[in-house]
């Protein structure tokens, strides 16, 4: 299995300052061999896109805990397309929608419709995240 040399852009979107999960991901993804550019917390959508363009990234990983993930996700693929990032893979995780009583299949279907390659439910383990990224990104986007 070949880990892509092109970076993954990681950060916490919008006004969200829940930093713990993205810091944990930054560490475990680096330990797994990924090249991670971590933008920090409260990152506007266009800053993710700018960073991806500047670094020729192969994926953008968005962390969203406050419940507004869906709001930021709906136009994100369109913004990437307009910036020329046609093939970039998009992922979001954390607590991406508001509330506890959620039909997860509906959330996944919605994010797929938005053009996201993956969305992860609250409480997902880092092992599962790495498994998903290995399956999607390795041996590709070299």
Contacts with ligand B12, residue ranges (CB under 6 A): 15-22, 24-25, 61-63, 65-67, 91-95, 98-99, 120, 122, 124-126, 129
Q: How far is CA 31 from CA 3, 65, 92, in A?
A: 12, 24, 20
Gap between the Cα atoms of 58 and 65, Å rounded: 23
98 vs 109, beta carbon nearer ligand B12: 98
20 vs 135, beta carbon nearer ligand B12: 20
Q: Closest approach of Cβ 117 to ligand B12, in Å?
A: 10
Out of 18, 38, 127, 136, pick the active-site residue. 18
Q: Closest approach of Cβ 99 to ligand B12, in Å?
A: 5
Half-sphere exposure of 95 (CA within 13 A, CB side): 13
Strand order in 59-64's β-sheet? 36-38, 8-12, 59-64, 89-94, 118-119
50 vs 70, beta carbon nearer ligand B12: 70
Q: Is 16 a catalytic residue?
A: yes
Q: Closest approach of Cβ 70 to ligand B12, in Å?
A: 10
- The sign of the dihedral angle between the CA atoms of 52, 119, 121, 124 is negative
CA 126 to chain CA mean position, Å: 13
Q: Closest approach of Cβ 42 to ligand B12, in Å?
A: 7
19 vs 53, beta carbon nearer ligand B12: 19
CB atoms within 10 A of CB 81: 12
Would you please indicate which residues are annotated as catalytic (active-site) residues? 16, 18
């Amino acid at each position: 299995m070949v880990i892509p040399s092109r970076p993954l852009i990681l950060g916490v979107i919008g006004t969200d300052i829940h930093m713990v999960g993205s810091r944990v991901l930054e560490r475990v993804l680096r330990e797994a061999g990924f090249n991670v550019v971590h933008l920090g917390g409260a990152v506007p959508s266009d800053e993710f896109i700018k960073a991806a363009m500047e670094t020729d990234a192969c994926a953008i990983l968005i962390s969203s805990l406050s419940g507004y993930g869906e709001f930021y996700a709906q136009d994100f693929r369109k913004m990437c397309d307009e910036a020329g990032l046609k093939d970039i893979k998009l992922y979001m995780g954390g607590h991406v929608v508001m509330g506890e009583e959620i039909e997860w299949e509906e959330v996944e279907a919605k994010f797929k419709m938005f053009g996201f390659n993956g969305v992860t439910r609250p409480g997902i383990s880092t092992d599962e995240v790495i498994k998903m990224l290995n399956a999607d990104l390795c041996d590709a986007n070299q």
